[in-house]
Amino acid sequence: MIIKVLGSGCSRCEKLFKKVNEVLKENNINAELIKVDDIREFAKYGIMMTPALVINEKLKCSINVPADKQILKYISEGL
């Protein structure tokens, strides 16, 4: 499983990356977590505002930082 957090480095982007990492650790989920800060990559997903969460190349959410429970749901859908 490949999980990408798309963001320019703002506080919300950093928060989403940290939360996803924590959810993975707390639930013993083996996944590759990648931070993407290249604006050209954002365009591939149709993202105009960050942060965004992409799991297995599918956009799950953008603009907001979801709760841990919602992040876990997105990850579970990708397993």
pTM recorded for the entire structure: 0.93
Number of Cα atoms under 13 Å in the Cβ half of residue 32: 6
Per the structure, the complete domain to which residue 31 belongs is given by: 2-78
pLDDT digits (tens, 9 = 90+) for 3-54: 999 998 899 999 999 999 999 999 999 999 999 999 999 999 999 889 999 9
Residue 79 banded pLDDT, cuts 50, 70, 90:
confident
Neighbour order of strands in the sheet with 52-55: 32-36, 2-6, 52-55, 58-62
Residue 63 banded pLDDT, cuts 50, 70, 90:
very high
Q: How far apart are the first and last CA of the chain?
A: 7
State the total domains in the chain. 1
Strand partners, 4: 34, 54
* 53: CATH: 3.40.30.10
Burial class (CB in 10 A: 0-12, 13-18, 19+), 31: middle
pLDDT at 77: 92
